[in-house]
Structure 1
Amino acid sequence: MIQKYDCQVGEVERLRYPGVYRVRLQCGDVSIDIEFHEKVMPDLRKGSNVVIAVTESKEECLQHYFCGKGSVVSNRSIGETYRTVISIGGFLLVLKTKQQLDFKPLDEVYVGASPA
């Protein structure tokens, strides 16, 4: 299984922890918030394009500039939006979709990211 998203950076927010920032991405009808350390992923700018892949395949993930192993923390609906939270070594990826994704808490997944 692979979920692949072509996204545009909407907002970049520096967090309190030194060198860490949160990126808000718009990927069609899906929105993604993801946290990165500046030494792991180059500083992304508003308006730039990014490809995000969530997969069970390590080999697929390794095709990207960044590849991290994560665990699904939660998968629930809030109103008409489904929110899936994935922890990648403490850094969070939050997927907000209109349809429920096939993830369960504690599923191990790989998250890949590449500037487009």
Structure 2
Amino acid sequence: MNGYVFHAVSQSATECAQQLWRYRPDVPMYVWVAPRPPFGYAETNARRIKERILQTNEMTAFLIRINRETGKRGAEKDWALDASCQIEAQRNWSINNLRSDLR
């Protein structure tokens, strides 16, 4: 018998499923998934994720630029930041819904 426990903290359903299929023998498998993320649900709206990143200066791979006329923050490669925020939003959605996704 093999048992697996997933707490829905940092791994998406795809990553959990990949771990489950690494062990291949034909034996019963028991999986327990937390009913909800222990640290609360993460943001799943890419626009809000982007706003948070720009407002809190969490720019690691993107250079911040500030519009001189409006004072609004942006990124030098806005398309790359948008793509990163979309990926984070999808990942957060999967973590938030890990229990149903793994079923």
- Into which bin does the TM-score normalised by the smaller protein fall? under 0.3
> Which structure carries more relative contact order (alpha carbon 8 Å, separation 6+)?
2
With structure 2 as the length reference, what TM-score do the two structures score?
0.21
Q: Which has the higher helix share?
A: 2
Say which one has the larger Rg.
2
With structure 1 as the length reference, what TM-score do the two structures score?
0.20
Q: Which has the higher strand share?
A: 1
